[in-house]
Structure 1
Amino acid sequence: MGPNGPIRRLDRFFQLLFSNIVVVALLLMVIVVLTLVIGRSAFGVAFFWGEELARYTMIFMAFIGGAVALRSDQHPRLTVFTSMLPTGVQVWLERFLAGCLAVTLAVLLWQGLDVALHDGRMKTPALRIPYFWIYLAVPLGAGAMLLMLLFKQFLPPAVSVDEQEDVKEVTE
């Protein structure tokens, strides 16, 4: 497996962990929204906590999903002009943009943690949980994206996302 075997295993672990978190969050969100729709239309019952839970689940899914998309190189981007550049310039530009992204994510991690720690004391209206847990999505997502950005610089992805097929695990 080579000298970076433990690093590869750690990278693979985090890719699968973040991917599974996104799947579970999406599944939970779908179940909650279906429960709300069926409850309202079939039984005339409105669950006061459902919309809030679906919203907060979507927030976590978006931030952790950003890490999954970053690692599998699935973030949308415009490549019309960069594809016309020479290969050396493209590589340099990609590294420069990765550095800019790392700085942005570090600031987001730091500021998100600050907001969660200092402004997260109030409780949500319906679920009555501290906003700290909701605000924590920002630093957790930024940290996950930073980690995936670091692994992306040195290793190929262990999980491949192909538009024509399902998500699949890459074998060596």
Structure 2
Amino acid sequence: MVKVLDRISWVLGKIATYVATMILIGIFLVITLGVVARFTSLRFAWTEELARWGLVSLTYVGASAALRNKQHSGVNLVINALPEKVGKVVVTIAYLVLMCTVVFFFFNSFEAAIKATRIRGDIIPLSMKYVKLLIPASFFMMFFHLAWGLGDLLSSKGISGKTIGL
């Protein structure tokens, strides 16, 4: 089961990394276009809105990719100071709490995205549903990353390298 979760998490992590990279490149190009346009007396109002949408999307997709790659910062000093079995219980509880939190945010962000169907951007007349759907998608990916991490933790003897962050 851990191998299946590892594979799913790995694939979703790669997807999140590529999507985050594409969003980052897109934000860079849009902002560069907006700056260059201002110097040439052109004013593209849509560049600011598109860059804002990209930054919001990048936050969540990037967080999912960072979770898979264990690149979130964490303070493991306390965990490492605990006895091995107690530390494993504490880390297991942390995984379970985070999984419940991610499920909660998944459902709430999905509901918010669906409710945003009729809301249009201020400048770009595109439904906000499309922008907001990346948020529950990111939480969906995070759930699999956490499930894989929890399975990996429970199937191992120690907790070294099995915590959520660095």
User: How many residues in Structure 1 have an aligned counterpart in Structure 2?
Assistant: 153
* Equivalent residue number for residue 20 of structure 1: 18
* Equivalent residue number for residue 34 of structure 2: 36
Q: How far is the alpha carbon of 1:78 from its aligned partner?
A: 2.5
CA 1:116–1:70: 2 relative to 1, 3 Å = same
Post-superposition CA distance 1:113-156 (Å, at most 9, x none)? 11111243111111111111122232111111112211223359
Distance in 1 separating the partners of 2:84 and 2:31: 47
CA 1:76–1:37: 2 relative to 1, 3 Å = same
Instruction: Give the letter aligned to residue 123 of structure 1.
Output: R
Distance in 2 separating the partners of 1:22 and 1:30: 12
SS at match of 1:32: helix
Distance in 2 separating the partners of 1:66 and 1:136: 15
* Equivalent residue number for residue 81 of structure 2: 84
Deviation beyond 6 Å, 4+ runs, structure 1: none
For 1:121-160, list aligned pairs within 5 A: 121-154=118-151
RMSD of aligned alpha carbons: 2.1
Distance in 1 separating the partners of 2:108 and 2:73: 25
Which runs of 5 or more structure 2 residues have no equivalent in the other structure? 154-166
Distance in 1 separating the partners of 2:147 and 2:4: 15
Post-superposition CA distance 1:57-77 (Å, at most 9, x none)? 111111111111111111122
CA 1:53–1:77: 2 relative to 1, 3 Å = same
Distance in 2 separating the partners of 1:34 and 1:80: 42
Q: How far is the alpha carbon of 1:4 from its aligned partner?
A: 6.8
- Amino-acid identity (%): 19
Distance in 2 separating the partners of 1:97 and 1:9: 22
* Equivalent residue number for residue 162 of structure 1: none
Relative to the length of structure 1, the TM-score reads 0.79
Which runs of 5 or more structure 1 residues have no equivalent in the other structure? 157-172
CA contact (8 A) 2:20 2:58 kept: yes
Distance in 2 separating the partners of 1:81 and 1:9: 30
Post-superposition CA distance 1:20-40 (Å, at most 9, x none)? 111111110111111111111
* Equivalent residue number for residue 94 of structure 1: 91
- Bigger relative CO (Cα 8 Å, ≥ 6 apart): 2
CA contact (8 A) 1:120 1:135 kept: no
Relative to the length of structure 2, the TM-score reads 0.82
Instruction: Give the letter aligned to residue 124 of structure 1.
Output: G
Distance in 1 separating the partners of 2:12 and 2:98: 19
Report which of the two has the higher share of helix: 2
